[in-house]
Amino acid sequence: MDLSAINPVLLIASLMVAATPLLLAAIGELVVEKSGVLNLGVEGMMITGAIAGFAAAVESGSPLAGFVVAAVAGAALSLLFAALTQVALANQVASGLALTLFGLGLSALLGQRYVGVKPPQMGRIDIPVLSDLPVVGPILFAHDVILYFGIALTGAVWAVLKFTRAGLVLRAVGENHEAAHALGYKVVRIRTLAILFGGACAGMGGAYISLIRVPQWTEGMTAGIGWIALALVVFASWKPWRALLGAYLFGGVTVVQLNLQAAGVAIPVEYLAMSPYLITILVLVILSADKSSAPASLGRSFHASR
Amino acid sequence: MKLTTLFASAAVALGLAAGGALAQDKTKVGFVYVGPVGDGGWTYEHDQGRKAVAEEFGDAVETVYVENVAEGPDAERVITQMALQGADLIFTTSFGYMDPTINVAAKFPDVKFEHATGYKRADNVSTYSARFYEGRAVQGTIAGHMTESNIIGYIGSYPIPEVIRGINSAYIHAKKVNPDVQFKIVWAFTWFDPAKEADAAKVLIEQGADVILQHTDSTAPQAAAQAAGNVITFGQASDMAEYGPKPRVSSIIDNWAPYYIARTKAVIDGTWTSTDTWDGIGPGMVGIGEISDAVPADVKAEALALKDAMAAGEYHPFTGPLKKQDGSDFLGEGETADDGTLAGMNFYVEGIEGSIPE
Q: How confident is the model at residue B15 (pLDDT cuts 50, 70, 90)?
A: very low
User: Measured between beta carbons, which residues in chain B are less than 8 angstroms from residue A254?
Assistant: 199
Residue A136: predicted pLDDT: 76
C-alpha B158/C-alpha A137 separation (Å) is: 37
* Ranges A37-51, A66-80, A263-277, B138-152: which has the least confidence: A263-277
Compute the nearest-CA separation of B46 from chain A (Å): 15
- Whether residue A123 has pLDDT greater than 80: no
Distance from CA of A99 to the nearest CA of B (A): 23
State residue B323 phi and psi, 5-degree precision: -120, 160
Give B252 to chain A, closest Cα distance, Å. Answer: 18
A217: closest chain B residue by CA: B194
Q: Which residues of A touch B186 (CB under 8 A)?
A: 258, 261-262
Nearest to B355 among A5, A263, A266 (CB): A266
Tell me which residue in B198, B218, B357 faces A268 most closely, judged by beta carbons: B357
- A302 is a domain residue: no
pLDDT tens digits, A247-262: 998 888 878 878 888 8
A86 lies in some domain: yes
Q: Tens digits of per-residue pLDDT, A190-227?
A: 999 999 999 999 999 999 999 988 888 888 888 889 99
Q: Is the pLDDT of residue A135 over 50?
A: yes
pLDDT (average), residues B42-51: 94
User: What is the model's pLDDT at position B32?
Assistant: 96
Lowest mean pLDDT among B32-41, B81-90, B144-153, B262-271: B32-41
| Cα–Cα dist B346/B176, whole Å | 22
Q: How far apart are CA A276 and CA A252, in angstroms?
A: 9
pLDDT higher than 80, residue A184? yes
Percent of chain A with pLDDT over 90: 55
CB pairs under 8 A between A and B: 91
Across chain B, mean pLDDT equals: 89
Q: Given A121, A216, A264, which is nearest B354 (Cβ)?
A: A264
- Region A16-23: mean pLDDT is 92
The pLDDT value given to residue B82? 95
* Domains in chain A, number: 1
pLDDT bucket at B19, cuts 50 / 70 / 90: very low
The average confidence (pLDDT) of chain A is: 88
Is A208 part of a structural domain of the chain?
yes
Contact A11 B206 (CB under 8 A): yes
pLDDT (0 to 100) of residue B47: 95
d(CA B294, CA B116): 33
Across the interface, do B358 and A268 touch by the CB < 8 Å criterion? Answer: yes
pLDDT (0 to 100) of residue A292: 61
pLDDT score, position B2: 52
CATH class of residue range B132-254+287-343: alpha beta
Interchain CB distance below 8 Å, B185 and A266:
no
Q: B26-131+256-279 in CATH: which number?
A: 3.40.50.2300
Do A262 and B184 lie within an 8 Å CB cutoff? Answer: yes
Chain A residues within an 8 Å CB radius of B227 = 121
Which of B39, B207, B223 has the CB atom closest to A259's CB atom?
B207
Do the first three CATH levels of B26-131+256-279 and B132-254+287-343 match, i.e. the same topology? Answer: yes
End-to-end Cα separation, chain A, in angstroms = 65
Q: How does residue B11 score in pLDDT terms, banded at 50, 70 and 90?
A: very low
- Tell me which chain B residues have a C-beta less than 8 angstroms from the C-beta of A214: 194-195, 198, 220, 223
Tell me if A295 is assigned to some domain: no
The reply to whether residue B39 touches residue A115, judged by beta carbons under 8 angstroms, is yes
| Contact residues on chain A for B37, CB-CB shorter than 8 A | 115
Query: Is A264 in Cβ contact with B227 (below 8 Å)?
Result: no
Residue A212: other Cβ atoms inside 10 A: 24
**Which of A10-19, B4-13, B162-171 holds the top average pLDDT?**
B162-171
Answer yes or no: do A218 and B36 touch at CB < 8 A: yes
Q: Report chain A residues touching chain B, CB-CB < 8 A.
A: 5-7, 10-11, 14, 18, 115-118, 121, 209, 213-216, 218-219, 221, 223, 254-255, 258-259, 261-264, 266, 268-270, 273
Give long-range contacts, CB 8 A cutoff, 24+ apart: A140-149: A142/A13, A143/A13, A143/A16, A143/A17, A144/A212, A145/A64, A146/A20, A146/A67, A146/A122, A146/A204, A146/A208, A146/A212, A147/A16, A147/A17, A147/A20
Cα distances from B165 to residues B171, B245, B338, in angstroms, run 10, 27, 13
Q: Cα A200 to chain center, whole Å?
A: 10
CA A198 – CA A204 distance, rounded (Å)? 10
- Return the residue in A258, A260, A265 with the most chain B beta carbons within 10 A, the one to mutate for interface testing: A258
Q: How far is CA B141 from CA A7, B130, B135, B255, B270, in A?
A: 28, 20, 10, 22, 44
CATH number where A11 lies: 1.10.3470.10
Asked, as a colleague might, if the bond just before A120 is cis with ω within 30 of 0, I would say: no
- Say what the pTM is: 0.82
B83, B108 contact by CB (below 8 A) = yes
Q: Answer yes or no: is A264 within a domain.
A: yes
- Which sequence spans correspond to the domains of chain B? 26-131+256-279, 132-254+287-343
> Which chain B residues contact residue A118 at CB under 8 A?
219, 223, 242
Yes or no: say if B292 and B246 are a contact pair by the CB < 8 Å rule.
yes
pLDDT for residue A133 is more than 50:
yes
CA distance A121 to chain B (A): 9
Range of the domain at A64: 3-119+147-287
Nearest-angstrom CA–CA distance, A107 and B43: 21
Instruction: List chain A residues with CB under 8 Å of B204.
Output: 262
User: Do the beta carbons of residue A96 and residue A39 sit within 8 Å?
Assistant: yes
What is the per-residue pLDDT for B357? 83
Is B218 close to A266, i.e. CB distance below 8 A? no
Is A132 part of any domain?
no
Chain B residues whose C-beta is within 8 A of a chain A C-beta are 36-40, 44, 68, 153, 184-187, 189, 192-195, 198-200, 202-204, 206-208, 218-220, 223, 227, 242, 353-355, 357-358
Please name the member of A14, A216, A261 whose beta carbon is closest to the beta carbon of B186: A261
Cβ contacts of B207 on chain A, cutoff 8 Å: 5-7, 259, 262-263
